Amino acid sequence: MLPSRHLLGLTDLVQFPPLPNNQTWGGEIAYLDRDGVLNVGSEDYINSVDELEVLSGAASAVARIRNAGFRVCIVTNQSPIGRGLWGHDRLAEVNSELQRILLEENEDAHLDVILYSPYVPWSNAWARKGNPGMLEVGRQIIDATEMGQNLSEFDYGKGYSPRDEGNSFMVGDRMADMKAGLNHGVRIFRCDQNIGVDDVIERVLNFRDSGDTL
């Protein structure tokens, strides 16, 4: 079971906006959870655009990450789809509004890839965090896009061949995020859900910081 991608098919390759200051991408990715990292989370889910509240400092943090040469890949569990509470179109509205607000606050706060897992927790889906499936797919989408290569299938699952992740990192507010990042082989940083990514922005951009441990 593969993840889904916001507004696109997984193998669709669309040109990314250039990195700030005309930087050349060096291969590093910031994998970010969504709820509790970019926007205020809720135990009852973010069910509509009206419930979306972007965290203070999120846009500037994303911009700083991209200014440091990272591509940004959102990886978010969204089980309400699998539970039948609402569908992909509703989620697309929320994700689009999140991107709009971030860019309104800072023109460099672009989210290059938005992936989500529509599966329920008991599905044991590889694409659901704390499994690393979304990160595996995000890596291959970004690599293929940057190299202008066609992407027809994915190296995916327990036999995944690790790539050189360099200083790539995962930021999340839950243990599932930390497990997914650790299983993917990147630095992991757990943020305060009331602050979000801005809580750890100095740490993730300090490449001597090896991240958190479980």
pLDDT in tens, 183-202: 999 999 999 999 999 999 99
Q: Domain map of the chain by residue range?
A: 4-204
- What's the pLDDT at 91? 98
Per-residue confidence (pLDDT) for residue 51, from 0 to 100: 98
- Look at residues 97, 103, 91 and name the one whose alpha carbon lies nearest to residue 60: 103
pLDDT in tens, 93-116: 999 999 999 999 999 999 999 999
Q: Which CATH number fits domain 4-204: 1.10.1740.10, 3.40.50.1000, 3.40.50.720, 3.40.50.300?
A: 3.40.50.1000
The pLDDT score that the predictor gives to residue 153 is 93
pLDDT under 70: residue ranges of the chain: none
Report if pTM > 0.85. yes
For the CA atoms of the chain, what is the radius of gyration?
Answer: 16
